[in-house]
Amino acid sequence: MQSEPPTALAPDHPDYGWLVDRVAIARAERRRQAMEELELERERGAALQEEISRLVVELEGPSLDEEVFARLAPADVELVQSSFQSGPAADDVDDEWFEIDADDPETLREETEQEIRRLEGEIAASARRQEAFERYLEALGE
């Protein structure tokens, strides 16, 4: 036995044999869109924070390592250093390679500091967007 569709018609579409809850559809779609944007913004904020961490380690890691390595046995220092290096071992690196990066350490440091400040501004903007989407979702309700 087949059931009959509801007889009420959508007010602006007289051909429909049932009501369309446009508000519910719009609410669900907006919720989906807001959740998607919120997730993208969260991922963006996390990526920005990772970049700041990388830059901070680049700036502060060598002096921190120097301090900590002074308290370790040479064998331990060698093991830890080799784990931290992403390129060839320090013994295998040509001195000219260091000169390229060390031409003007103060300029490099200032540029890195500026980039960190820029990224911090981006993180603040991302956090603001996340808060706005969270409040939108809360106001959207069920």
The encoded tokens of residue 80 equal 């830890």
Quick one: pLDDT at residue 37?
Answer: 98
pLDDT > 80? residue 5: no
Note the pLDDT tens digit of each residue in 49-99.
999 999 999 999 999 999 999 999 999 999 999 998 854 444 444 444 334
Residue 139 scores a pLDDT above 90: yes
Domain boundaries, the chain: 37-140
Interval 93-106: pLDDT, tens: 444 433 435 568 88
Q: Is 19 helix (H, G, I), strand (E, B) or coil?
A: coil
d(CA 8, CA 16): 9
- State percent of the chain over pLDDT 90: 67
Q: What is the pTM of this model?
A: 0.67
**CB 127: neighbour CB atoms within 10 A?**
13
